[in-house]
Amino acid sequence: MSPVKSKIPKEERPFLDRLLDEIRYRISGVEDIDVAGQSIPRYTGEFWTAKQRQAHALHEISYRACFKPQLPHFFIEHLTKEADRIYDPFSGRGTTVLEAGFMGRNVAANDINPLSTLLSRPRFFPPLLKELMERLDSIPISETESADIDLSMFFHPKTEAEIVSIKNYLTARHESGEEDDIDRWIRMVATNRLTGHSKGFFSVYTLPPNQAVSADSQKKINIKMKQTPEHRDTRVIIYKKSRTLLNDITPEEHKYLRQAGEGARFLTCDARETKTIESGSIQLTVTSPPFLDVVDYMQDNWLRCWFNGLDAEEISKTITIARTLESWSAVMLGVFRELYRITKPRGFVAFEVGEIRNKQINLDEHVVPLGIKTGFKCIGIIVNEQYFTKTSNIWGIDNNEKGTNSNRIVLFRK
């Protein structure tokens, strides 16, 4: 089946050939839909799965509403070559740019939430475990330290003292200009281990690590589960998680990551105004924007912000929460205008969206006219369907009733 060959001029097909051949091989269905007065092909199939290419353990940093690394890998593999620059304007935990780094690409990442850089950048400069252990042992721990807010519902007093000691150490290193890649790694892992639902976290049993419940809610959880916080050795937990993250990294991957990290851009801007990214410099953007108001970033990240000395309320004011489709579309139109500016001629944008509000809104059909209006050509909509995992419904976005998860990616070319 090759329904798009006649639609794409021959001279524009070098990268598209790779992608379209893969689509034809794996396609289970195709339909032409009328959007913005144009006939747009929508391809459905299982184009990638978690088993096709096992994602690197270094990706396993929890963050709300992140897609699987196999998604950006698919587009990076078929639409770019080594040294091309890959971008994500809503970078989150950095899945797109980290995967691009593994593949020898240059990277640029942006997210209005400064936690994104704290969780992304350190993984381009992974430490040696011996050096990490030595640094952890050197951090002064005071058993008399306590937080400036009540965290007793989450942490044993001894654990809390260790957390505050590490927090103070990292703050002092940053403010003195002495903070290095090992410190930033410790900050990232500690931020990721604050709360969770196993003994691999600093806290008593609570929600998964990409969400932080309120203090009052945690008290109710403790009563329901008849639990009290027990001591957790924070430095041991940081080391063990680091060992897992670094478990299968090869010397070549280490080299690629460092090369990408040294030339990387990590921005904290409105995605509509990324002025430091040069016009025509991005070969491929792979991203998934916030979907209306389905995630409360302030509530999810308040404890992570506290640990890193960030003001969660101030950050929430900078994050655009679009509560209607019209306002969301207006924001995304501005994003597409900026993407058009920074994308290379014949470069691509893979824009992942989903079905929301009980299947009443298919965002892919609303995204197509936004890209076209700003000058992009819509190549088509790619719907990847696969059996979902435990994290697939984290957005509150539709998963089919029979146990499959749908990623809808609108693909544009400049």
- Per-residue pLDDT of 223-274, as tens digits, reads 999 999 999 999 999 999 999 999 989 999 999 999 999 999 999 999 999 9
pLDDT at 36: 83
Instruction: Specify burial of residue 344 (Cβ count, 10 A radius: 0-12, 13-18, 19+).
Output: middle
Mean pLDDT, the chain, integer: 88
Q: Which residue has the higher pLDDT, 392 or 245?
A: 245
**Residue closest to 167 by CA, chosen among 186, 182, 149:** 186
C-alpha 348/C-alpha 354 separation (Å) is 19
Does residue 51 register a pLDDT over 70? no
For the chain, where do the domains classified as CATH 3.40.50.150 start and end?
Answer: 5-114+251-299+318-413
Q: Record the pTM.
A: 0.90
pLDDT tens readout for residues 71-109: 999 999 999 999 999 999 999 999 999 999 999 999 999
- Mean pLDDT lowest among 32-36, 79-83, 363-367, 403-407: 403-407
- Mean pLDDT lowest among 93-102, 173-182, 287-296, 319-328: 287-296
pLDDT at 6: 39
For the chain, what is the radius of gyration of the CA atoms? Answer: 22
C-alpha 164/C-alpha 238 separation (Å) is 14
Backbone angles phi, psi at 400, to 5 degrees: -60, 150
> How confident is residue 360, by pLDDT bands cut at 50, 70 and 90?
low
Beta bridge partners of 361: 356
- Note whether 15 and 79 are within 8 A (CB): yes
Asked if CATH classification 3.40.50.150 holds for the domain at 5-114+251-299+318-413, the reply, yes or no, is yes
